[in-house]
Structures are given as structure tokens and as C-alpha cells.
Structure 1
Amino acid sequence: MYSPYFESHFNIITSLTRLLTTSANYVLEGVGFETIQKDYHSIKIGYSKGITVNPSCLGWAVMSFWVAFVSANKGSLSYKLKWVLFGLTSVILLNIIRIALIAVANHANWRTITSLDHHQTFNVASYVCIAILIGGYVNVQKKYERIHRAGEVSEIIGIR
């Protein structure tokens, strides 16, 4: 069943693609490049090759992994929501930087960057970022649990 209303108002893929390319466009213009963005999923500098962002470039697997990790661990709903938003924002920012860098590499003919498998490189960088986030999440959670346990012990023995 197709709904034009849902297509235009709840299309998450188009919205995320537009967010990534428009943000990369602002970054590139902010550092002095003249960009062309003919549609929501492509961006280029001048008349260079540019970059086209398709749904597999959005980082769904990495973002899903992060949300699943946070959801499966301890913590209050507000604590988990903060970490989910922080992690998703980190992955999205990394993706914006990637898109801008690929556009610059295509414009400047940087063979070392243009010859890379961008999807795989982004996945590796994203999972390194996620590993750092996991370390932060676990450390903060352990600190909270130590403080919480110390509070319970002091109440049991009558120290306030």
C-alpha cells in the first residue's frame, strides 16, 4: 500500500540522506568551496565528479548496532536515551565528514582517497568510534553503580 503523504513526511531514508548531503554542503561552503547540489542525494564541488549518497551509505548497520548495545545494557531510560542520541550524532557527524572529504578528494583528484572502498573505510572508522563510545558507556555505568552501592552501604550502617 503506497501513501504519498507518508512518502513526503515520514521517509526516513530521504530525510537522513538530505541531512547528510546538506550538512556536508554547508561544511564545504564554510571552508571556501563552491558546491553544486542538484538533488537531495548528490553533491559536488564545481564541475568535478562529486559524490552520490545512496541508502547503503547512511550507516544503518552501525547506528543499529549502537542502539542495540545501549538498549541491552543497564541504565535508566533517560540515561540510555542520552547515550543513544550521543552515539547516533557521532556516527552522523563522521558520515558528514566522510561525504565532504570524498567530494574534496574527487575535486582534487586525490587517488589515495578516491581509490579506497568508502563503504568499508566508513564502517571501520564508525566501529572504532562505537568502540570508544562503548568504553565510555561502560565506565560511566560502572562509576554510577559504585556510587549507588556505596550509598546503600552507608544507609545500612547508618552513615549519612
Structure 2
Amino acid sequence: MNEIQAKEARKQANRKAIKFIVALFILYILFSQANLFMNSVTSPDAKYYNATISTHFNYIQGLRTALIVPAVWIIKAFGFYAIYNETDVMVVAGPYLRVNYSCLGLGVMSFLAAFVLAFPAPWKSTFKMLAIGILTIYILNVCRIAGLGVLLGFFESQRQNFTYHHEIFNIIVYICIFTLLYFWIKKNTRKTDKIEVGENDQPKED
């Protein structure tokens, strides 16, 4: 590769990087704000509440229920008796947990979706990573809710020390997601390099 080709390759790389950053920013704002708007639309005391949408298209509550139910199963497996409704989990002789919007993990899901969709990778690999990442976030969140119920049930005197569980959860989730993204990017970058080498570095004829 001569100097002109090297400059052109750098320009293409810079354009791809700028395109990725712009797409990541736009998609993240779109996904995160759409989730916040839907939360407002489906919350009876919110500004944009709509009964029809809340009744038929409330994926916010669907995700909340999908987190609460298996978390309660886990809590019961540890010998506690727990009851729940649409937003709360009460562990008898244990803690009372409320699963708010901020507990659903939609913020980190929005970031993951924006990053994966913005990154230049084959669609099959993109959707696979998206599914694995969202499932990972979901499982970690179920474990967090169940873990709080069990730990606060066993260690009642230590409940005040679990004030920052949101922050701790976010740190753990982002570490896991960035680890997954690192290996995913590495794998897809290697594939891209192979394709470029195959196209540009054909053997010369004598």
C-alpha cells in the first residue's frame, strides 16, 4: 500500500468513525427518549397518559412484570414468603421493594441497542449481539431484585447499606456489556480486515 492509498484508508476510517459516533448519539437519544415518553404515556398520574395505549401497548409494565415474577420465584426458593403486585415486591419479615422505571434497565438497553445498530457489522451478527446483550441485562436485573430481597431478608440490620444498589448495578452491567462489546467488535473488525485484504491485495500476474 503506497502513501496515497494509506491516506485514503485513513480518510475512510475517519469518515466511518464520525458516522458511527453521530449514529450512536442519534439512536441513543431516540431510544431513551421514546422509552421515557412511553413511561409517561402509560403512567396514570403522568402528563401524557393515554388509557388506550396503556392498556394495549404497555411494554414498560410488561418488562416490569417479567422482572418481578422470576425474582419472586428466586426469593421463595431461599425460603422466604413473598407477594407482589404490578410494581412492588413484599418479602414477609423482609424488605419492601418497589420496581420503578429507573429499575428496569431501559437506559443501558438503549445504549446497547444504539451502539450495536450504529456499528458497521453484518446484520446477523448485529441482531445476535443485540439479543445476547439485552438478555444479559435482563438476567442481571432479575438477580439484582432477587438478591436485594434475599440479602435484606437475611441481614435486616444492614438495609441502610444498600442505598446505592442502583449505582452498583449500573457499574456491573456496564462492565459486562463493554466486555461483550469488546469481543464482538474485535471479531467483526477481524472479519472486515479479511474482506478488505481479499479485495485489495490480489496477487499480481507476472
Q: Quickly name the TM-score band, shorter chain normalised.
A: 0.7 to 0.9
Counterparts of residues 78-117 of structure 1 (less than 5 Å): 78-109=124-155, 115-116=161-162, 117=164
Residues 143, 115 of structure 1: alpha-carbon distance in 2 compared, 3 angstrom cutoff: same
Does 2:181 correspond to 1:134?
yes
Aligned-partner Cα distance in 2 for 1:79–1:114? 43
Quote the Cα distance in structure 2 between the aligned partners of 1:56 and 1:26: 22
**Residues 130, 112 of structure 1: CA spacing in aligned structure 2 closer, same or farther, 3 A cutoff?**
farther
1:110 and 1:92 map into 2 onto residues whose CA distance is: 26
Q: Which amino acid aligns with 1:56?
A: S
2:75 and 2:82 in contact (8 A); partners too: no
Task: Give the aligned CA root-mean-square deviation in angstroms.
Answer: 2.3
Give the unaligned 5+ runs of structure 2.
Answer: 1-47
Q: Is the 8 A contact 1:35 1:43 kept in 2?
A: no
Where relative contact order (Cα < 8 A, 6+ residues apart) is larger, the structure is 1
Residues paired across the two proteins, number: 156
Gaps in structure 1 of 5+ consecutive residues:
none
Q: TM-score, normalised by structure 2?
A: 0.66
Q: In the alignment, which residue of structure 2 is the partner of 1:21? A: 68
Shift of 1:113: 6.6
**1:33 and 1:55 mapped to 2: Cα distance?**
28
Provide the secondary structure at the position in 2 that maps to 1:115. helix
Matched-pair contact (CA < 8 Å) for 1:105–1:114: no
Aligned counterpart, 2:109: 63
CA contact (8 A) 1:102 1:114 kept: no
Q: Which has the larger radius of gyration?
A: 2
> 1:37 and 2:122 equivalent?
no
Percent identity over paired residues: 26
Query: What's 1:119 paired with?
Result: 166
TM-score under structure 1 length normalisation: 0.83
Q: 2:192 aligns with which of 145, 148, 160?
A: 145
Report the AA paired with residue 75 of structure 2. L
